[in-house]
Structure 1
């Protein structure tokens, strides 16, 4: 499988929407994550009230970032829209749009984070890996929880706790969730699991609206 290496830094912080609400939230993320760098449990606990405030405001996210994406690398028309990422790739914020009836692959995130449901309803299936990871491309998962989520609900990621899951939209319209993660989630190599065959493979989900720097460099090298 792919080597999960640290990504090269960007030239500057990247903003993909113009929103004072999001900028204020990012400032809090920076302040709190710097202050609690040695205890990510505290990071999540202190961030959650500010994240809750962001979720209840329904005007800051442009409609184009709440659309499905037929060309999604995750499949099923799932849109993964980057809203912000830090210059050092230590934080990314994005919306994940899942069409009605669609389910994400079973996947991990490899970072602390908060996920909040902005619109719609979802069912989340949480897994725990129970093998030791020694066998190449083999993974044994166990379901630990199935949760029904409504607009405004928040859940935490703190690997290994809660880090492996699959999410299905159960509402009549697409569900939109906002993710705040402690890495550049769309650009790192992470894991996609196939529980039925007890297998795992590396994947990079990418973003619907922004190439990874590594992809841009490869493309430029070809011309």
Structure 2
């Protein structure tokens, strides 16, 4: 099981991409999240068309947030770029940049979320966990299905039944870029990295490519 993640509130909302399109979407998202807090299926359904409208807009995502990251916490050069994070960490928006033919680990998110493809094509393999989780380090998954995702497509994340997947970029010459709208601070929390063939699981933190967590900053300061 992952470590218990206790994250302190931030001093204020953090805007790594700050433009009218993102500001408008965040305002709408906050209102929907607040009004549907007892029904996250409703949150996802009401928020989706507003998210789809954002994905269709041009030039709102700056180039630095569309690049791979050789020091990725997810491996294979996969960039996870934080675009926005609310003060209470109950809404984050980030881009996930997967180089051609690279694939994410099999992982969960531990939160509701919307994922929309901004650029390229992806192949998503969805899993469900079928063991009871009582054995430390062990997990048995079954494959639910494999799906093709193209630019503009959106899918829902909603634990526990729809939260475990891996994603592969199937574009030839450019990375695939997906935008995640999540109900937690996904890159900062401890969550699960699964190994289906070995029937094992371990805790991991994916981190954001453009944000150092507090402990990392402290360690960096000690040695530099």
Q: TM-score, normalised by structure 1?
A: 0.96
For residue 7 of structure 1, what is the aligned residue in structure 2? 7
CA distance in 2, matches of 1:221, 1:32: 43
Q: Please say if residues 76 and 103 of structure 2, whose CA atoms lie closer than 8 Å, have aligned partners that are also in contact.
A: yes
CA distance in 2, matches of 1:31, 1:217: 36
CA distance in 1, matches of 2:176, 2:20: 23
For residue 41 of structure 1, what is the aligned residue in structure 2? 41
For residue 78 of structure 2, what is the aligned residue in structure 1? 78
Q: Please say if residues 2 and 192 of structure 2, whose CA atoms lie closer than 8 Å, have aligned partners that are also in contact.
A: no
Cα separation, partners in 2 of 1:102 and 1:4, compared to 1, 3 Å: same
For residue 61 of structure 1, what is the aligned residue in structure 2? 61
Q: Please say if residues 4 and 190 of structure 1, whose CA atoms lie closer than 8 Å, have aligned partners that are also in contact.
A: no
Q: How many residue pairs are counted as aligned between the two chains?
A: 223
Cα deviation for residue 212 of structure 1 reads 2.0
* Aligned residues: CA RMSD: 1.4
For residue 132 of structure 1, what is the aligned residue in structure 2? 132
Gap regions ≥5 residues in structure 1 = none
Q: Tell me, what secondary structure is at the counterpart of 2:33? A: helix
Cα deviation for residue 217 of structure 1 reads 4.9
Q: TM-score, normalised by structure 2?
A: 0.96
Cα separation, partners in 2 of 1:11 and 1:217, compared to 1, 3 Å: farther
User: What does the per-residue CA deviation read over 1:152-209, in whole Å, with 9 as the maximum and x for residues that have no partner?
Assistant: 0000011012200000001122100000000000000000001110000000000000
CA distance in 2, matches of 1:144, 1:39: 24
For residue 31 of structure 1, what is the aligned residue in structure 2? 31
Q: Tell me, what secondary structure is at the counterpart of 1:33? A: helix
Gap regions ≥5 residues in structure 2 = none
For residue 162 of structure 1, what is the aligned residue in structure 2? 162
For residue 51 of structure 2, what is the aligned residue in structure 1? 51
User: What does the per-residue CA deviation read over 1:65-107, in whole Å, with 9 as the maximum and x for residues that have no partner?
Assistant: 0000011011010000000001111111000000000000000
